[in-house]
Amino acid sequence: MEKVNWKIQGMSCTNCALTIDKYLQQKGMQDVKVNFIGGNVSFDLPADHAAHEIAEGIESLGYQVVGHSHGHGHEHGSGQKLFKNHFQRFLFCAVFTLPLMLHMVPGLHSHLLMNPYVQLALTVPVFIVGMDFFGRSAWKSLTKGIPNMNVLIALGAVAAFGYSLYGTLTGQAEQFMFYETTATILTLVFLGNWLEDKSVETTQSALRKLAVSQKVMANMIAYDEQHQEHIFPVESSSLKVGDLLLIKTGEVVPMDCKILWGQASVSEAIVSGESIPVERKMHDRLIGGSTVVEGTIKTYVTAVGEDTVLANILKMVSDAQAEKPPIQQLADKISAVFVPVVISIALLTLLLNYFAAGHNFTESLLRSIAVLVIACPCAMGLATPAAIAVGLGRAARNGVLFKNARSLEVFRNIRQVVFDKTGTLTTGLFTITDFGLWQGNDPHAYGTNVTGVTAYAFQRIVFSLEKYSSHPIGKAIARSWKTKDDIRWAKIEEVKGLGMKALDKEGNEYLATSYAAAARLTDDRSHNVYILKNNRLLGWVDVADEIRPEAKQVIAMLKSAGIKTILLSGDQKQKCEQVAAALGIEEVIAEQTPQQKLEKIAALNKNAPVAMVGDGINDAPALARATVGVSLSDASHIAMQSAQVVLMNHGLKNLPLSLGLGKHTYITIRQNLFWAFAYNIVAIPVAALGFLSPTFGALVMGLSDVVLAVNSVRLNFKKVVRGRETSDLRRELA
């Protein structure tokens, strides 16, 4: 299977997405995801299918695959060159439609404009442009079995135009003249579609800020044969992994890099939402798109193109947008049958008004046309994607990444938040405070221990073990006791819940572990790391870790929102209780293995939905089992893969924001769906009873989607965190 990601132009509603989705599944594509708001389509392409054939098939439906200009795509593109967007179509049609409406202005009644052939001449250009778009789209959707909204518009316009043309040709123009209705419907729907496009586009504003083109000039460093350094400008798009760069004050980091020389203050607001610059020094990594606020550094490129952090963020958000949360499924089912139902209602309106209510055919037809043009299936399809696009965009702009839309929706139910301790509530930046060699019953004695190991040899063993560890404590010890004289192990592995386990070339087994594994050898449980050789205790290491400065405020904000906080850790109970007491955490569950963590999360889930926040390899199973798993961006790779939400700020500052966004996004979805259903339930009967003209119906239909988009955009500015805003917390911490 080949993973295909395409950008599709021309999708305007859920029915468009359903059409493409149905086509791809009929062709045997797997894991199909279609997002009509972003225009993104992804699927797994079987080996026996050609991508260009699938692209041509999509273009035959009336859409355009960006980057494919062959076959149908070329023909489609050339047919749309006259008008690039709905606004241009609206302006063209308005030129001919406005004269048809002049008779409504007092003092401008003109016999010339009332001439049916003059009205026909003014309407024909509008009708041609309208049918070129609405008619073409309607026909293609009908032939593919999923009629879209344009079927309703095309039917209404054709009915009004055909009825008027019949009256003109039979000499009964005064009783049959609806040219004004035809032109006005098409013109106002073009206006409404343009307003809808602009409104929906604003829901993507946060993502567009992330996706802004990073094609900037970079200062590449090169060396000649005499090893003289030369600096010359190149476009960032031409950079490759390993290229050397010079980045100065005020310049944008062109691609992901690692600092080789120098230090600088760097603004990473593009991916973290944090406006305060962070200090970066030698060996630190820089994110492409961040800005050097002050300083000069030399770097080498570590990732380009789709492998960069920014590209992966955008892909993650795009994938999340394409996911259909449970609440959208009902709306999609209704959208799929909406158009046939509305056509049936319009036909019933014509028949009942003419035969049962005693209205003449002209009045009955006008009412049925009003039903066609006022109905809006797009509103139901737009309700959820628009809100999710804004919610995901605001989250991404503030350094919160949701891997799927379901997590955003499920967050509204969270009643418990479970925290790991090390690296989550604490900084994970440990320092060694003490160490000792085992002396029988006196674990605090120094010198050569009972196994004959010196202090230097002990440090060498510990470094050789912990240099392979992914745990923050292991990494800190390895940094402090780094030596070139490390042991070359025959085998070494990191065992979940146990620690580092190694075999040397002589067959001796070494273990760097917690007290749980050393309990049978000593009753002193006060140390962090115990070192064993062949099941005999060699010594111990103590480290100190600081509580994250934002942790206490975050816990307080969660508690004020009525969310229970729990500390779940594999660390010693005494140390966990000290951290919990300092932060105000309500419950402590300490000295847990990964399996026990998994069981605790499962048990907690039965009582109420749980969010688990962790960063270590030991947290991965629990993160996967929780209702929502939350990982930090500096977490282990497996923890980030297991979590559904990633906090990019190397801390907890935005955890309350992510919870609040989940809740308020769901509220916005419910508001949107209520409006979408209420609008159609009220508007269609009102039009059928003759209280709305087709002209007014066309205008209202276009504005209905705008209402949803505007309501969704409110999420960008809405206060979603109870108590103090996250920005207030940032300022205080700064």
Structure confidence at residue 348 (pLDDT) = 95
Instruction: Lowest mean pLDDT of 14-23, 192-201, 304-313, 325-334, name the range.
Output: 325-334
Q: Are 686 and 692 contacting, i.e. CB atoms less than 8 angstroms apart?
A: yes
The average pLDDT across 544-551 equals 84
Q: Is residue 689 included in any domain, yes or no?
A: no
Q: Is residue 111 included in any domain, yes or no?
A: no
Give the pLDDT confidence of 42-74 residue by residue, as tens digits: 888 888 888 888 988 888 887 888 865 544 434
Catalytic residue among 21, 256, 420, 524: 420
Residue 444 has pLDDT above 90, yes or no: no
Structure confidence at residue 74 (pLDDT) = 40
Q: What is the DSSP letter of 353?
A: I
Structure confidence at residue 525 (pLDDT) = 81
420 is catalytic: yes
201 pLDDT tier (thresholds 50, 70, 90):
confident
Residue 382 has pLDDT above 80, yes or no: no
Number of domains in the chain: 4
Smallest Cα–Cα separation from 148: which of 11, 313, 304?
11
Residue 15 has pLDDT above 80, yes or no: no
Q: Is residue 465 included in any domain, yes or no?
A: yes
Residues 559, 565, 567: CA angle, nearest 5 degrees: 150
Name the average pLDDT for the chain: 81
Final residue of a structural domain among 618, 636, 653: 653
Residues 539 and 512 in one domain: yes
Please name every residue paired with 539 in a beta bridge, in sequence order, or none if there are none. 437, 531
Residues 443 and 532 in one domain: yes
pLDDT over 70, % of the chain: 84
Residues 445 and 520 in one domain: yes
Instruction: Lowest mean pLDDT of 262-271, 321-330, 564-573, 615-624, name the range.
Output: 321-330
> CA-CA-CA-CA torsion for 138, 143, 145, 147, nearest 10 degrees?
10
Residues 6+ apart with CB under 8 A from 18: 34, 146, 332, 335, 336
Q: Report the Cα 279 to chain-centroid distance in Å.
A: 28
Give the pLDDT confidence of 383-430 residue by residue, as tens digits: 778 888 888 888 877 778 887 777 777 777 888 999 988 778 887 678
How far is 715 from 661, CA to CA, in rounded Å?
8
Q: Is residue 351 included in any domain, yes or no?
A: no
Residues 537 and 555 in one domain: no
> CA-CA-CA-CA torsion for 100, 101, 107, 108, nearest 10 degrees?
-30
Q: Is residue 164 included in any domain, yes or no?
A: no
Q: What is the DSSP letter of 548?
A: P
Structure confidence at residue 478 (pLDDT) = 92
Final residue of a structural domain among 653, 673, 708: 653
Final residue of a structural domain among 518, 544, 570: 544
Residues 47 and 67 in one domain: yes
Residues 528 and 443 in one domain: yes
Q: Which of 7-16, 434-443, 516-525 has the highest mean pLDDT?
A: 516-525
Structure confidence at residue 320 (pLDDT) = 65
297 or 447, higher pLDDT: 297
Q: Is residue 177 included in any domain, yes or no?
A: no
Q: Which of 27-31, 252-256, 458-462, 593-597 has the highest mean pLDDT?
A: 458-462
Residues 221 and 235 in one domain: yes
The CATH number for 6's domain is 3.30.70.100
Structure confidence at residue 666 (pLDDT) = 85
Q: Which of 220-224, 525-529, 681-685 has the highest mean pLDDT?
A: 681-685
Place of tokens 């008004």: 353
Give the pLDDT confidence of 687-696 residue by residue, as tens digits: 999 898 888 8
The CATH number for 566's domain is 3.40.50.1000
Smallest Cα–Cα separation from 181: which of 365, 344, 26?
365
The CATH number for 530's domain is 3.40.1110.10
18 pLDDT tier (thresholds 50, 70, 90):
confident
> SS3 letters for 81-118?
CCCCCHHHHHHHHHHHHHHHHHHHCCCCCCCCCCCHHH
Residue 638 has pLDDT above 60, yes or no: no
How is the beta sheet containing 645-647 ordered, strand by strand?
A: 400-402, 645-647, 628-632, 610-614, 416-419, 564-568, 587-589
Residues 580 and 620 in one domain: yes
Give the pLDDT confidence of 215-271 residue by residue, as tens digits: 678 889 888 887 788 888 888 888 899 899 999 888 888 888 999 999 999 887 666
Residue 26 has pLDDT above 80, yes or no: yes
The average pLDDT across 526-552 equals 88
The CATH number for 287's domain is 2.70.150.10
Q: Is residue 279 included in any domain, yes or no?
A: yes
pLDDT over 90, % of the chain: 19
Residues 566 and 606 in one domain: yes
Residue 21 has pLDDT above 90, yes or no: no
Place of tokens 């479970």: 418
Q: Is residue 73 included in any domain, yes or no?
A: yes
The pTM assigned to this predicted structure is 0.69
The average pLDDT across 336-356 equals 90
Residues 614 and 631 in one domain: yes
Residues 477 and 522 in one domain: yes
Structure confidence at residue 95 (pLDDT) = 93
94 pLDDT tier (thresholds 50, 70, 90):
very high
Give the pLDDT confidence of 548-583 residue by residue, as tens digits: 888 888 999 888 888 899 999 887 788 888 889 999
277 pLDDT tier (thresholds 50, 70, 90):
confident
Domain assignment of residue 516, given as a range: 431-544
Residues 423 and 439 in one domain: no
332 or 623, higher pLDDT: 623
